[in-house]
Every structure is written in structure tokens, then in C-alpha cells.
A and B are shown apart, each in its own frame.
Chain A
Amino acid sequence: MRELLAAPAGPLVSGVVPCLPTNRRVVASVFALEDDARCEVAKEDYLGNRQASQRSYWISNLRLIGCLLAIWFLVSFVLGIFLAEPLASVRVGRLPAGFWWAQQGSMFVFVILIFVYAWRMDRLDRSHRDGGEADR
């Protein structure tokens, strides 16, 4: 719990001025050796970048989830259920397409979706590690 809370907070409510993190002491100590004026500027930059990076990480994550869930909905509910009757005349192999999506195809796609998510998130994690590109 302690180390979880130590992570700086992002904007609390979207549209409202972002709140400063509570662990200023820790962040400030990073800059303790620098002279006061530069320290203040650097600290603001550091915090701003961290928050911006965390925000963009979260938004990229949400966008990815949205895309994958759209495919999830398409293969199961749209192709497998809502269009099952009209798709009866189309064939996958020798099965009616609606039946195939409902009892075979949708499940294969589900597996692929999860692995795609894990793989894309690996890449996203790497690009945002330790607060973002600005920290490198």
C-alpha cells in the first residue's frame, strides 16, 4: 500500500487543475544537490512530465482496450448472434457462417485478442517506463 500511494497522482478529475503529488519530499530530494532556483524549475518540469506521461499511458491503454473490445463485440454479438439468421446462407467451410462464428470462430478470435493486448501493452510499458520518455 505504501509504495502504491507513493506514486505521484495524476489529474484527479478530468478538466480540473491537476493536484500536486503528496510525496514532494521524495521528488525534491532528487534535486537536493542543485541550487534552489534551478531546482524549482526542474522539479516543476519533472512533475509535469511525469503526469503527462502517465496520462498518455492511460489514454493509449484505454484506446487499445476500446479497439479490442469492439472486435470482441463484432465477432460474438454481431456476427454470432444478431446477424446469425441472415448469415445462414453464407458458408464457412460447409457450415452456415452465423453458426460457425457462434460455435467456433468467435472463440479463436477471443484468444488472439488477449495475446494482442498483452503484446501491445508490453510495448506501451517499455515506452513509458519510469514515468516516460522525458526521463531518459
Chain B
Amino acid sequence: MSVEAWTYGLVAATFGAYLLIGYRSRVHTTEGFYVAGRGIPAIFNGAATAADWMSAASFISMAGLISFMGYDGAVYLMGWTGGYVLLALLLAPYLRKFGKYTVPDFIGDRYGSDTARLVAAMCAIFISLTYVAGQMRGVGVVFSRFLGVGIGTGVLIGMTVVAFFAVLGGMKGITWTQVAQYSILILAYLIPAVAIAMKLTGNPIPQLALTSSDIAERLNQIQLDLGFSEYTKPFQSKSMLDVACITFALMAGTAGLPHILVRFYTVRSVRAARYSAGWALLFIVLLYTTAPAVAIFARYNLIDTLHDKPLAEARALDWVSSWEKTGLLNLEDKNGDGVLQLAPEPEANEILVDPDIIVLSTPEVAGLAPWVIALVAAGGLAAALSTAAGLLLVISSSIAHDIYTKLINPDASDAQRLLVGRVMILAAILVAGYFGINPPGFVGEVVAFAFGLAAASFFPVILLGIFDKRTNGTGAITGMLLGLSFTASYIIGNRFFGMEPWLFGISAQGIGTVGLFLNLLATFVISRLTAPPPLELQQLVESLRAAPPPTRHSP
């Protein structure tokens, strides 16, 4: 069977499975729609969180980015996993104990302020919308590369599938499809990684192959010979301070992203929330510790295959010609000697590789069977669709629950609230689909935004709301606005108006760290200069801190 037939078959089978799961988990109450009836066991919530978290960017782009950044790629690895430690120790158990539906719920109730609730809801919508546009785009790109349909058609198919299980099943449908999507995406990532590890080092476990074989030493030597710096040498593209700031901003941003936080409302107990954060990170780390190995193997393999090879001979390779057609791989014999050279200087470099093809092309480069290539396509789609669904639910709940039910029509019946929730998720899908087909030029830039803003707004305010009883609404709102406006103006100034990174050279990606500390400081000081929060809010904090009631089930 050809690659294309396999891909059609696998994608159709997985989509069919998602539709079936969505149909079987349809819900009839708002509790089911927003928090899956609080009945998800810890390990499954862990798998769903992992799928929710790992987007098209983690699956398709991350290993490629790392392979071009060397050591400095660690900012993504540590940043996007270390945040779960903050989440598990500082936020998730308390949010579960609080036990409502959304993140703005917590902020609004803890600070007794509808203004705070509204600011939080707007942040949640903005962060999630920017993020979801990229996911829909990812769906379109995978469709066009592997199935030969237009990006627009691909986005429409993806939208239809998500719409079906999200509208019918809400959080419950999304959770159980995410569990299935995690299984597919992790298999699709690990199988090619194991195969290429075996091929290059003779050790099938990528993490061990990376650590115990001489592959990194060999790559370092090749890089030096070609005039690059050593692959494992730190701080080649970023300063130490910038690496630390970006890592911390990504960590705090991870812990503050609303679509991850709401997942912890869906488990049965506080205890289950603690364990499920551990399962989530375990499932994520399975992919994240494989990625740096794939990055080194792929870079080594690419240089080994293409450098010093006659152009005609390179073009005779199947995968080279097919990726050259997509424009993501460019070969050009600049000095006219008929042989390809990789070089650090752009004017002499004859091999131009887009980071995005590293993961997608690995199975072909390693000469794996067609069904593995098809599985990678299905995995990329699973990663993009699962993240999109989680984000869409946050957008829907922010509008339908935080704004409509809490601020506009508090008397709405359960049936009305459920209907508004379903309509809003459908509307969010349409908006996301529009941006997927007509992407705003700045999608890439906006990722820095989502993490910076989550780090500078949600994280400090939720943290202080639990750990500092004296923090009041005035302090929290001032802190959020200060953190947001500082971070947003620095990112916008730097990315769109050519402003120099004036603060010790901290880049737009890392500035959220500074915004976070400004927010913490402002919230802390202003709360102490103004009246303490009312007794009932202080008691709410006390109740969050108390030992949880006993549970009769395993986590």
C-alpha cells in the first residue's frame, strides 16, 4: 500500500474514533459540559492534560527548533515541563478544592470583584484565541502535506470533527477524545524516534542512546569541522540571563494557561488533582525527553546524508525531492562545484532546512515503512485537534459562564446555560477556523504573547490568592493590569516597532518573568496599603488551605 493510502486510512480511522467517543460521551448538564461532571480518574485526566498541552508546535516544530538551537533549545524543554511542578505544588490542588468551573471564577470569587472576573475572562479569551488559530493552521498544513488537499479544506474537515464532539460532549467529550489522541500522538512520536536511534547508535531507547552513545561527540566534531560552534555548548544564541528569563516565563506561563488549569476541575478530589498533575507531566516528559534525542539524531543524519554529496545524487533521494517541492527544503549549488556544502555563513550555505520538517521527515529519512509515515500524519493531527478542543472550551466557558451567566443573566436556568455554552463553542470554532484559513501574519509572534501574558497576569494573582490571605481585590486588579501592560508594551514595542530589548537584553519571550515580578510586588504592596479583604473571603482562603475530606476511591 502506498503512503497516501495508508494516511487516508489511518486519518479516517482516527477521526471516526474521535466522533464515536464524542457521541458516546454527550452530556446534558452544565456540570458535565464545563467540568465533565468532575468524574475523570487521575491517570486519564493526566493523559488528557498531556494531549491538551502538546500542540502542533510541540509535536511538529519543537525537535526541529532544538536541532537548530543546540543547548539553547533547553528553554522550551525545561520551560514547558518545569511549569507543571509549579502547577502541581502551588495551584492545581487549591483550584480543585475551590471546585467551580473556570479560572475567572476563582479570581472573581476570591477577590469578590466582578471587575477582576471580567479582566480575567478577557485575558482567557485573548490567550486562547491566539493559540487556537495556530492549531487550526497546523491541521491544514498536515492535511496539505500528507493528503494533498488544500489547507482550507483541511481546516474545514478539522473544524467539523472538533465541532461534533465539543458541542455534543463539552468537557466530557473533549476529555475522552484527548485520551485517545494522546495514545496516537505518543506512538507516532516514539516509533520513528526508536527506529532512528537504533539505526544511528544501535540502542533502541532514544534517551539512553543520546546519553550513552558517542553521537553528541560525533556531531560536535562535525559542527567544529564545518565552522559551527559545538552543538552542546551553552549560550550561543542567547545570553545566560535571557535563557533563565525565557525558561521562567514559559514555566509560569504554563502554570497560568487557562486551558490547563481548568483540567484540574474535572477530577474527583484534591488528591486526584495532585496525582493527575504527576501523570500529566510523566506523559509529557515521555515526548519531551525524546525530542532532544530526535533533534541530535536528525541533525547528524541530515548533515551526514547531504553534506559533501553531489547535488544530482541528493536529488535522487525520494524524500529530498518531495520535501524540496514543498519549499521547506532548499538545495542550491552556490559555488557551482556540483557538490552540496553546509556552512555557517548564509552566502556560502547550500542546504537550507525549515525546522518544521525535522520530525515530519524523520521516518522517510530513516527509511521506515509507509504506515509509520501515515501514523506521524495522524499524530500531528491528533496533537493539533486535542489542543484546539481544550482552548475552544475555555473560550466558550469564558463567554457563556463568566460573562453571560455571572455578569449578564444570573437567573439563567441550567438548560439555558448549557445552550449558550454549546452555541459559544460553535462560534469559537468558526472564528478559529477563519483564522486558520486566513492566518494573521503574526501568529508566530503571538505565542510569546500567550505565555508572557499568562505568566504576568494569571499566575501571580492565583498564587497570592491562595498563599497570601492579605491580598485584596484592589491589589490584584492593579497587579494584573500592571503586569499585563508592562509585558504587552515590551513585546509589542520589540516585535512590531523595532524597539531594542532595553532591559538587560531580555528578549520578548523572556519579559513575562519581569512582568510577573512587577505584578507580584504591586499586588503585595498595594494590598497592604488598602483595607484587608472581608472576613468571608479570608475564610474562603482558610477553607482552601484545610486538609481535604477523605476520599473513597483511588486517584
Using CB atoms and an 8 Å cutoff, list the residues of chain A in contact with chain B: 1, 4-5, 7-10, 12-13, 19, 22, 54, 57-58, 61, 65, 68-69, 72, 76-77, 80-82, 84-85, 88, 92-96, 98-100, 102-104, 106-108, 110-111, 113-115, 117-118, 121-122, 124-125, 128-129
- Chain B residues within an 8 Å CB radius of A99: 71, 74, 216, 232, 234
Kindly identify which residue among A92, A111, A125 contacts B285, using a CB–CB cutoff of 8 Å: A111
- Chain A residues within an 8 Å CB radius of B538: 9, 12
Interface centre among A4, A5, A8, A69 (most CB of B within 10 A): A4
A102 to chain B, nearest CB (A): 4
Is the contact region of chain B dominated by helix, strand, or loop, or is it mixed? Answer: helix
Q: Do B540 and A110 touch (CB < 8 A)? A: no
Kindly identify which residue among A9, A107, A114, A117 contacts B78, using a CB–CB cutoff of 8 Å: A107
Q: Do A10 and B235 touch (CB < 8 A)? A: no
Residue B545 at the chain A interface, CB threshold 8 Å: yes
- Chain A residues within an 8 Å CB radius of B544: 4
Q: Do A84 and B539 touch (CB < 8 A)? A: no
Residue B217 at the chain A interface, CB threshold 8 Å: yes
28 pairs from A and B in contact (CB 8 Å cutoff): A1-B540, A4-B544, A7-B543, A10-B542, A13-B469, A54-B542, A54-B546, A54-B547, A68-B85, A76-B78, A76-B82, A77-B248, A80-B78, A81-B243, A85-B234, A99-B74, A99-B234, A102-B71, A103-B77, A104-B210, A110-B85, A111-B285, A114-B89, A118-B274, A118-B277, A125-B547, A125-B550, A128-B547
Kindly identify which residue among B213, B243, B548 contacts A125, using a CB–CB cutoff of 8 Å: B548
Residue B470 at the chain A interface, CB threshold 8 Å: yes
Using CB atoms and an 8 Å cutoff, list the residues of chain B in contact with chain A: 66, 71, 73-74, 77-78, 81-82, 84-85, 88-90, 93, 98, 109, 207, 210-214, 216-217, 232-235, 240, 243-244, 247-248, 271, 274-275, 277-278, 281-282, 285, 288-289, 292, 469-470, 532, 535-536, 538-540, 542-548, 550, 555
Q: Which residue of A lies closest to B212 (CB)?
A: A93
Interface centre among A80, A104, A111 (most CB of B within 10 A): A111
Q: Do A114 and B271 touch (CB < 8 A)? A: no
Kindly identify which residue among B539, B547, B555 contacts A5, using a CB–CB cutoff of 8 Å: B539
B348 to chain A, nearest CB (A): 28
Q: CA of A7 to CA of B74 in the docked complex: distance in angstroms? A: 45
Q: Which residue of B lies closest to A21 (CB)?
A: B539
With contact pairs A88-B234, A110-B281, A111-B282 given, residues A95 and B211 touching in the complex (Cβ less than 8 Å): yes
Kindly identify which residue among B90, B217, B281, B547 contacts A94, using a CB–CB cutoff of 8 Å: B217
Q: Do A81 and B244 touch (CB < 8 A)? A: yes
- Chain B residues within an 8 Å CB radius of A111: 278, 281-282, 285
Additional A-B contacts beyond A102-B234, A110-B281, A117-B278 (4; CB < 8 A): A68-B89, A76-B82, A77-B247, A106-B82
A29 to chain B, nearest CB (A): 20
Q: Do B211 and A4 touch (CB < 8 A)? A: no
Q: Do A4 and B271 touch (CB < 8 A)? A: no
Q: CA of A85 to CA of B211 in the docked complex: distance in angstroms? A: 18
Q: Which residue of B lies closest to A106 (CB)?
A: B78
Q: Do A9 and B539 touch (CB < 8 A)? A: yes
Q: Do B547 and A129 touch (CB < 8 A)? A: yes
- Chain A residues within an 8 Å CB radius of B78: 76, 80, 102, 106-107
Kindly identify which residue among B71, B207, B213 contacts A84, using a CB–CB cutoff of 8 Å: B71
A135 to chain B, nearest CB (A): 12
Kindly identify which residue among B98, B216, B285, B532 contacts A95, using a CB–CB cutoff of 8 Å: B216
- Chain B residues within an 8 Å CB radius of A72: 82, 85
Kindly identify which residue among B74, B271, B275, B539 contacts A80, using a CB–CB cutoff of 8 Å: B74
Q: Do B211 and A104 touch (CB < 8 A)? A: yes
With contact pairs A80-B78, A81-B247, A129-B550 given, residues A117 and B88 touching in the complex (Cβ less than 8 Å): yes
Q: CA of A57 to CA of B545 in the docked complex: distance in angstroms? A: 9
- Chain B residues within an 8 Å CB radius of A103: 66, 71, 73-74, 77, 289, 292
A28 to chain B, nearest CB (A): 18
Q: Do B543 and A104 touch (CB < 8 A)? A: no
- Chain A residues within an 8 Å CB radius of B555: 118
B475 to chain A, nearest CB (A): 15
- Chain B residues within an 8 Å CB radius of A58: 545
Q: Which residue of A lies closest to B215 (CB)?
A: A94
Q: CA of A118 to CA of B217 in the docked complex: distance in angstroms? A: 39
B17 to chain A, nearest CB (A): 28
